[in-house]
Structure 1
Amino acid sequence: MSTRAPAKHEDISAELRKEIAAGKYGEEGRLPSDSKLMERFGVSRPTVAQAMRTLTIEGLVVRKTGSGTYARPPSQSSVPISTHRLALLMPHFGHTEIFQLIAGHLASLARHHEYSLVWGGSTLPQLDADTRLEHGDELCQQFIENRVDGVFFAPYEFVKGGYEANLRMVKRFRDAGIPVVLVDHDIVVYPERSEYDLVGVDNAGGGFSIGRHLIKLGCTRFVHVAKPLSASTVDARYTGLWTAVSQYGDAECFIKAERGEAGDPVFANKV
């Protein structure tokens, strides 16, 4: 397996991480502005923002609106070497907002309980499937070699081969004796459940509530549209919607499921 070259934002966060550890920014801890960092590294604003987001999640810096970015004091950002290490494996981290919020809260809890946290995820949604899956396998191997004490894993979706990759990676963690907690959705098809703990919302209940609400508004024709290769949460929502239509709908009610890209005019006309 080839070694993935670090992305530019990873180079930036690595360099700033070294400077923070060396105390370059003094007692005040104020880092250069995003504009200065853009000029220094010759990159775009989103690239700098991603680098700073990484450092924020790691607990090394704090962003203060209207003031700037500051390095946390060592007493707040450092974690004793002897503590346990947890890992985040979130392939869709950079382009799914909810995963960024989840990761931020997990990082905060880890610091509070004196756990160190390492994380990995794709911030480039345009990577082809093979590259994204290869990156995930590399992160999986890194976490195993580093002997992390547990992994929070948000399984792949919308990627051909993702289902098999999810099964493969959790098996590798299990064989290595590393506990796994799934985030948002399971690695198996709904309504099946895997052996792993899962933290998510009640998608079936959500679909049911939406369906019941729409029926009360007088809606009678329902089309559940989802992208191909969606996570099992989508099937759970459809099940909830179907149940609501079955219980509260009348003879005129109609429901079907379609998989495709909503932005595709041909598909939209078909629906």
Structure 2
Amino acid sequence: MGLKPTFKDIYVILKDQIVKASFSSGSMLPTEQVLAKRYGVSRPTVAKVYNQLQAEGFVKKTKGLGTVVTHQYSNRPYTFGLLLPGSGESEIFAIINDQLLRQSESGLFNCIWEGATASSADIRKTLIETCCENYIQKKVDGIFFSPLERVPNAYDLNLKICKAIKDANIPLVLIDRDVVTAPERSEFDVVSIDNFNAGCIAAQHLIDRGCERLHFFYRPGSASSVDLRISGVRDTVLKHGYSFTEKNVFCGNPEEVHYVKQMEVIPGKTGIICANDSTAAVLMSSLDDLGIEISKDILICGFDDMKYSKHLKHSLTSFRQPCEEIANISIELLMRRLKDNNRIPITINLNGDIVIRDSSRFL
């Protein structure tokens, strides 16, 4: 005898049937009682499924009438534009980009990708504006956008791009971060990791390894998500009774040895959390030039778990993002927007995990 189907199992089956027009628009779904008997589950379980489908715009429940399919089937796949300028700088955006392209093979949508992934920040800035204009001219059905960072006037440019997309009435989902900083909130859906919690996890890991003095290092012009990571680090450090002030936060070029030298290092008690792996990799080299030894004097970790992280002189501990799931949920939100682009914006923060390597082990 097979296992009793769960709420999710029944939801997936019905949604798939509706999308593929097995239940056409205007048709009635079986009553909750009939479907409950068919799957051997309780009636409240089926009611929960129908409520979820209604919340997503696939059906409409009417008291005394039943549940009617409202989803309009179309043979024409949607066309989505990809604006992921960070793909040229960080592997996480390349992974997200690739997952979006893989998911497009389902036949429900096509992706337009016009190469806004150059390694040069200035080139990315120009390309992203051009791509946005092209997508609007082509009247794409939706756009995925990862806001620019570390380029001149990135904040204003991100707002300009979002306004142009909104004015064209094209559904938009932001990936990795919002275009404004807390406590402000834009009117667009956002999918990212829980950056505050990620900061907490990184700080707790270094404290568990014996660090009593923690610093945070990031480059100028970094995304607002860095502020949330710093907040998480600060909150965790203070809860342990250690000090964490502005003197523990460093915003500069990790290549500048004279700047790096300003960090107070208590041998065997100091940890450094970097905003990303690329910053950490350069900082490790500068620390080496200063005669500060990793795993002896200090511990260090980063974010993003780049491929090269495990091949550095001291393999780098890093917080890994669930990139493929970020892409999958972004698709779900954009599909939701296609049904009603005036919905209240949603923020989805996903959990990641820390990959522990030599750089966070005292010898």
State the match for 1:185 in structure 2.
Answer: 177
For the pair 1:109 / 2:103, whether they are aligned, the reply is yes
Counterpart of 1:262 (choices 244, 254, 267) is 254
Contact 1:90–1:120 under 8 Å retained in 2? no
SS in 1 for 2:113: strand
Question: CA separation of 1:177/1:211 partners in 2, compared to 1, >3 Å: closer, same or farther?
Answer: same
Identity of aligned residues (%): 34
Name the TM-score, length of structure 2 as normaliser.
0.49
1:109-166 Cα offsets, whole Å, 9 max, x none, are 1221431110234333235x3x432322111110000000100001101111111100
Greater RCO structure (CA 8 Å; 6+ sep): 2
CA distance in 1, matches of 2:150, 2:180: 14
Spell out the pairing of 1:81-100 with structure 2 (5 A cutoff): 82-100=76-94
1:88, distance to aligned residue in structure 2 (A): 0.5
CA distance in 2, matches of 1:81, 1:161: 42
CA distance in 1, matches of 2:212, 2:184: 30
Structure 2 letter corresponding to 1:85? T
Structure 2 letter corresponding to 1:156? L
Superposed CA RMSD: 1.9
| 186-195 or 92-101, which deviates more | 186-195
For structure 1, the 5+ residue unaligned runs are 1-79
State the match for 2:128 in structure 1.
Answer: 136
1:58-105 Cα offsets, whole Å, 9 max, x none, are xxxxxxxxxxxxxxxxxxxxxx99321001001121231111111111
CA distance in 2, matches of 1:194, 1:236: 16
| 192-201 or 164-173, which deviates more | 192-201
Counterpart of 1:245 (choices 222, 237, 255) is 237
State the match for 2:218 in structure 1.
Answer: 226
State the match for 2:142 in structure 1.
Answer: 150
Name the TM-score, length of structure 1 as normaliser.
0.65
State the match for 2:345 in structure 1.
Answer: none
Which structure would you say has the larger Rg?
2
Counterpart of 1:194 (choices 161, 186, 191) is 186
For structure 2, the 5+ residue unaligned runs are 1-73, 264-363
| 98-107 or 166-175, which deviates more | 98-107
Contact 2:147–2:174 under 8 Å retained in 1? yes
Structure 2 letter corresponding to 1:90? L
Contact 1:190–1:233 under 8 Å retained in 2? no
1:270, distance to aligned residue in structure 2 (A): 2.3
1:164-217 Cα offsets, whole Å, 9 max, x none, are 100000000000000110111111123432111111101100101121222233
| 151-160 or 106-115, which deviates more | 106-115
CA distance in 1, matches of 2:128, 2:153: 12
SS in 2 for 1:240: helix
1:8-35 Cα offsets, whole Å, 9 max, x none, are xxxxxxxxxxxxxxxxxxxxxxxxxxxx
Structure 2 letter corresponding to 1:230? S
Contact 1:211–1:244 under 8 Å retained in 2? yes
Contact 1:180–1:196 under 8 Å retained in 2? yes
Contact 1:262–1:268 under 8 Å retained in 2? yes
How many matched pairs?
188
Contact 2:83–2:143 under 8 Å retained in 1? yes
Question: CA separation of 1:254/1:239 partners in 2, compared to 1, >3 Å: closer, same or farther?
Answer: closer
